[in-house]
Amino acid sequence: MAVVDKQQVEPTVFERLFDRLSYRGHDGEGATHVGTASIGCHQFNTGSRPHASQPVSEGGIYVAFDGRIDNREQLLARLGQEPSKPRPDSRLVLDAYTKWGTEFPEQIRGPFATVLWDSNRRRSVAARDRTGIRHIYYAATDDLFVAGSEARAIAAHSSVADEPNRHLIREFLDSRLETAGESFYRDIARLEPGTVVTWDPDGLSVDRYWRPPYGCAPDANISDHGRQLEQLLRSAIGNRLEVVGNAAVMMSGGLDSTLIGSLVTEESARRETGRAEAFVVTFDGISAIDERTSASAVSTDGVSTTFLDGADIWPLKRDFRALVGTPCRDSSLELFDTVTAKARADGFEGVFTGVGGNLFDGNRLAYTDLLCEGHVADFVREAWRDDLSVLKAGLLYGLLPAATSQSVTLRELNYRDPPIGVDRDDERPPAARREPKTVSRALSFVNCSLRYQLTDPYMDFVSDSIRRIALANGTELFHPFLDSRIIAFLFRLGPGSRFHNGRHKRLVRQAARGIVPESVREQPVHANAYSSFLRRGIQEEASTLQAALSNGTLVEESYLEKDQLERLHAELPVPDGVESQERLWRAATTARWLDEF
């Protein structure tokens, strides 16, 4: 975290903000106060890599770094340093900034969030990794810059309005977050993945330093692409094993996490980094959740597995601690809480997941990304190479856009339900006002594109909450599918590599050949497991949701009309359809979150 003020930063002011992040620092904390700036870091060190007390400083430059550098050898070579001399990642970030200035994030591969203060240039810089695995929020005025890992810490500053972002809340209640770069606090921005923000005497600048590179991969058959994905996953897992040793895996029963579990087991043994253990939460009586079958299959295939009873787990079982900073509460948060707590108790500091594997599900509308970027020639070439018939293509792109329901989860677009929020776009600047949500807008290029899937604001908030839960339990999460090399590989492929003849996860299935049992590799993809788990949570906690909706905040603050709230009340205890569940769930979590103000 960093606080920079053109006048003076009182240490007590910084400490008030900094203390809100104390639960993250299992290996100590450090802070430096240098007149107009204060910078600090709560440290959680895993593995055997060299670590330095933070913030690190040299020549008037101060750096706080939360992350891991995966391309250390290449970076050391570019910096002209000897690989044989241990140098902590935080020091390498300082060296990179000294050499390349604000372009230093381009040189770093791996998950990270970092802030620095350059006292020589009176400049503060904050940067986030390419695929947004770590998080940074910031608030800026002409005289003040505050940046840190959590918006709620920044909101503790007296010059930052501790007020909700009204239009983003309404967007959330409309069931689709579309505005980039904002948080649920009015004055606090969310730094986008692959972005760097600079605050200096010239003002504030926000620059994108990385986007997934579009391009046409060399012609190759699906087997070749599958082998490439397998090798990239092994490399990504290897980078993470370097910093954790013993490795836990959260397996959900789906192909993504099961493949990760099998690969982590193999790579841990091959690299002799430590033991590996898969943790699986099992359920009885919840449809479409087949975690026990898949986990048992890979368990007999050599993956050591611990089964956890999910009978007492539902979305509101414990408390709303994950709602601090955002009303985005996914039903899976309690599962992450259960698994990470058990993993830490069993001696694991790192937990691997299959998060990000959904990007490989399949979506022919990824072609639209090429059109959005103006790559018309690439669009034509990729469409021509795809084995989709001309007739089907005509229906897909021209006559029946809804026919893409096979490859796009249209239920997430909520096109069948009207928005439940009260539209108050007049409160926003004209440039920020949204178009009305309609069927055509819901099926727009933005919402159905691969790029949107990667940068979906809602999932970004959820992933932040998931990591906060893991850190509170003393563990770090690792998401190999979100490695920037894998994302770059994915974006260079044609959509047909992900979806083929009605089969989801075509490429992941190919990569899993010979690694996971055939019964797991060929299992159908279930789309309603989330709905089943959420429905049980609503059944078990109907009274909690009822209380949240009854406090009047949503109507009093004009987020909902009275009749809209009454319709939501009528849907308790068990709403019909996943869209209704989503609307009820979001309204209840928003009401509960607003009570914090």
Q: Are residues 379 and 503 in the same domain?
A: yes
Quick one: which of 18, 341, 30 has its CA closest to 149?
Answer: 18
For position 496, what pLDDT does the model report? 56
Q: Are residues 157 and 32 in the same domain?
A: yes
Quick check: is 490 in a domain? Answer: yes
Q: Are residues 471 and 576 in the same domain?
A: no
Q: pLDDT, tens digit, for every residue of 57-67?
A: 999 999 999 99
Q: Are residues 425 and 342 in the same domain?
A: yes
Q: Are residues 371 and 514 in the same domain?
A: yes
Mean pLDDT of the chain: 81
Which CATH number do you get for residue 446? 3.40.50.620
Which CATH number do you get for residue 81? 3.60.20.10
Structure tokens at 54: 């933070």
Are 33 and 14 a contacting pair, CB within 8 Å? yes
Q: Are residues 243 and 199 in the same domain?
A: no
Quick check: is 518 in a domain? Answer: yes
* Confidence bin at 1 (pLDDT 50/70/90): very high
Q: pTM score, two decimals?
A: 0.85
* Confidence bin at 418 (pLDDT 50/70/90): very low
d(CA 336, CA 466): 7
Quick check: is 535 in a domain? Answer: no
Number of domains present in the structure of the chain: 3
Q: Which residues pair with 31 in a beta bridge?
A: 40
Q: Are residues 21 and 169 in the same domain?
A: yes
Of 472, 501, 526, which closes a domain? 526
* Confidence bin at 519 (pLDDT 50/70/90): confident
Average pLDDT rounded to a whole number, residues 190-197: 96
Q: pLDDT, tens digit, for every residue of 429-463?
A: 333 333 333 333 333 333 446 676 788 898 899 99
Q: pLDDT, tens digit, for every residue of 322-375?
A: 456 788 877 678 889 999 999 999 999 999 999 999 888 755 455 555 555 566
The 3-class secondary structure across 204-215, one letter per residue, is: EEEEECCCCCCC
For position 217, what pLDDT does the model report? 59
For position 280, what pLDDT does the model report? 92
Quick check: is 449 in a domain? Answer: yes
Are 398 and 137 a contacting pair, CB within 8 Å? no
Q: Are residues 243 and 274 in the same domain?
A: yes
Binding-site members for ATP are 281
Q: Are residues 287 and 425 in the same domain?
A: yes
Of 180, 208, 236, which closes a domain? 208
Domain span at 60: 2-208
Q: Are residues 162 and 216 in the same domain?
A: no
For position 316, what pLDDT does the model report? 63
Binding-site members for L-glutamine are 89
Q: Are residues 195 and 256 in the same domain?
A: no
Asked if pLDDT for residue 527 goes beyond 60, the answer is no
Structure tokens at 330: 């996914």
Are 453 and 363 a contacting pair, CB within 8 Å? yes
Q: For 209-223, 334-348, 391-405, 481-495, which range has the lowest pLDDT when averaged over its residues?
A: 391-405
Binding-site members are 89, 281
Residue type, 255: L
Q: pLDDT, tens digit, for every residue of 271-309?
A: 998 999 999 988 876 655 567 778 888 887 788 999 998
Q: Are residues 520 and 555 in the same domain?
A: no
